[in-house]
Amino acid sequence: MLNYLDNTKIKQNMSDFIQRAVRQNDLQKLLLEFTDIKNEFPFGQLAYQHYEAFGGQNKQAIIQLAAGIELLILSADILDDIEDQDNDSYPWMKRKSGIAINAANVLFTLSFEAFSKLDHATELLNSVYSYSIQSMQGQHMDMTLEPENEQDCLNIMKLKAGSLFVLPCVLGVILATGSFEKKVEEYAYYLGMAEQLENDYLGLFNKDNTDFKRMQTLPLVYLKNEFNPSSSDLLSYFQSMDKSFGSEELKDKLKKSGAQQYVFIMRNLLRNKFKEAFKKLHLEASKKKKLILFLIGDGEDENSGIG
């Protein structure tokens, strides 16, 4: 049976950091408003599962690490939404962009404070710096480059999304052992990219998806090859203002275009690379079993949103 961190404790820890560090009332209220919408903390849980698998036992320390990670991820989400002009329903999108950007910078800085107060702080901060810079470079490439092929998309995906998936996995191990585990980094990149690819595919069913403005995700780059009339029809549809297809009709057209099958195959290739890399991990069999159960469930694809 899998154990999980108490989400309410992660959220309270995030609030505590904000209230201790930020004395300006309006800014503090704004930051608490932004964090209050979060009730689930998957990146913090990702860190916890790795911390526990590698022998970590200090519950307060891992809660603090999880809170720091979630502050960092929230800051990245805010900046990503502002840069993409995405997700208008979120409170930071209802504020002037300069105010929201400043708030995101405060959250990012607060995450470093959380990490700096933990054991192995130097190792933790070095990894946070490394993966944050990777993600920022990936975001810049996503905004400025037009990927011409599959490999271009995968490179951007690895930097922008993969690095932020790797970060909590690696930090959980470092907090538990004081050491960087290369094998964890390797498999986490593959799984993070597989998760992002599935999200990009599901985004095709969101009529307000800003991806349609730039047509740069891997499923859309595949369609731009126009292998068949269905691909051409979908490209015209995604770039038009009138998005009238129902989900079943759109799913059928994606299947006829080959995009659905392509994404499914690419996702499974990434997941298989993850599994091969995970096998190299030197852990007790029972701990490996629990960890992979958390990461991909039973390994079957019936829970995939593709298909």
Full DSSP string of 191-260: HHHHHHHHHHHHGGG-TT-THHHH--SHHHHHHTT--SHHHHHHHHHHHSS-----HHHHHHHHHHHTHH
Whether 115 and 1 share a structural domain: yes
Q: Write the CATH number for 155.
A: 1.10.600.10
Q: What per-residue confidence (pLDDT) applies to 170?
A: 98
- Arithmetic mean of pLDDT, 35-55: 98
Query: For residue 304, what pLDDT band results from cuts at 50, 70 and 90?
Result: low
Q: What per-residue confidence (pLDDT) applies to 210?
A: 80
What DSSP string runs through 11-32?
HHHHHHHHHHH---HHHHHHHH
Q: What per-residue confidence (pLDDT) applies to 179?
A: 97
Whether 89 and 234 share a structural domain: no
Whether 214 and 82 share a structural domain: no
Q: What per-residue confidence (pLDDT) applies to 82?
A: 94
Whether 173 and 210 share a structural domain: no
Tens digits of per-residue pLDDT, 68-119?
999 999 999 999 999 888 778 899 999 999 999 999 999 999 999 999 999 9
- Arithmetic mean of pLDDT, 145-164: 95
Query: Which of 177, 210, 231 is the last residue in one of the domains?
Result: 177
Whether 241 and 265 share a structural domain: yes
Given a cut of 70, whether residue 67 has pLDDT beyond it is yes
The closest alpha carbon to 201, from 233, 238, 226, belongs to 238
Whether 141 and 12 share a structural domain: yes
What's the rounded Cα separation, in Å, for the pair 71 and 107?
Answer: 6
Q: Which domain holds residue 219?
A: 181-307
Query: Which of 130, 151, 177 is the last residue in one of the domains?
Result: 177
Whether 267 and 291 share a structural domain: yes
When divided into structural domains, the chain yields a total of: 2
What's the rounded Cα separation, in Å, for the pair 211 and 177?
Answer: 40
The number of CA neighbours under 13 Å toward the Cβ of 179 is 7
Whether 40 and 86 share a structural domain: yes
Whether 31 and 135 share a structural domain: yes
Q: At what angle do helices 121-144 and 59-84 cross, to 10 degrees?
A: 20
Given a cut of 50, whether residue 213 has pLDDT beyond it is yes
Residues of the chain with pLDDT > 70, as a percent, come to: 97
The closest alpha carbon to 41, from 19, 16, 18, 12, belongs to 12
Whether 149 and 214 share a structural domain: no
Query: For residue 301, what pLDDT band results from cuts at 50, 70 and 90?
Result: low
Whether 201 and 145 share a structural domain: no
Q: What is the pTM assigned to this prediction? A: 0.95
Given a cut of 90, whether residue 307 has pLDDT beyond it is no
First-to-last CA distance in the chain? 29
Degrees to nearest 5, angle at CA 158 with 156 and 161: 90
Tens digits of per-residue pLDDT, 217-264?
999 999 999 999 999 999 999 988 777 888 899 999 999 999 999 999
Whether 186 and 50 share a structural domain: no
Query: Which of 177, 209, 235 is the last residue in one of the domains?
Result: 177
Residue-averaged pLDDT of the chain = 94
